[in-house]
Amino acid sequence: MENIQLTQVSQAAQVIVNLDKARAAMVNGVSKIGEVIQGYADGISQAFDLVDNAGNVTTKWYDLQGALNKPVKAERKLFVDAMEKRGYETDTINTYWSRVKKAAGYQTAGNKASATADTDAKTLAELKTMLNRIFNDDTDCKAQQVKGLLIDAFVQMGGDAMKLGTNNKG
């Protein structure tokens, strides 16, 4: 039993050493930034991601909450302090931290795929806008020639054709 505990302590110490090296490489090697950011992101992931007994990640470090997030906050403070000592401003520090998170797999709201309902709702609204533009334009344009197809798509997506345009031309 004592041998297992010593092994676990040794492994934990190695993770900390790896994380320290990764942080130092990040702060000191900004010139090779893509590679360095990925190395730091990998180090943080190795240190703080929650894994199951099979080694599968169950929670990424950037999604940790409450007490589980304290070590991540402490690491961020070490990162901020090291970057400030090198003369970097808060905006730059935050940008690099965001890049580390992204390299570790974090997706911002803008990078996440929209839910189907959102896509459908946006498409329906855009079709309505296009159709209203076509209905309110009396010129003979190509859009007038495909208006029927767009109306069919609008109706199939749940729109009411009778509420299109101010003139309600066919």
> What's residue 169's pLDDT?
44
What would the pLDDT profile of 114-157 be if each residue is shown by its tens digit? 555 578 888 888 888 888 888 887 788 888 888 888 888 888 88
What is the band of 168 on the pLDDT scale with cuts at 50, 70, 90? very low
Query: What does the DSSP 8-state code read for residue 164?
Result: S
- pTM listed for this prediction: 0.51
What would the pLDDT profile of 7-64 be if each residue is shown by its tens digit?
Answer: 555 566 667 778 888 888 777 765 577 888 899 999 999 999 999 888 899 999 999 9
pLDDT at 30: 58
Domain positions in the chain: 2-103, 116-163
Residue with tokens 């197809």: 149
DSSP category for residue 67 = G
Q: Over 90: is that where the pLDDT of 83 sits?
A: yes
Cβ neighbours of 100 (radius 10 Å): 26
If you search the block for the tokens 């190795």, which residue do you land on? 46
Tokens of 133: 């533009």
Query: DSSP letter string over 27-49?
Result: HH-GGGHHHHHHHHHHHHHHHH-
**Token duo for residue 40:** 């730091």
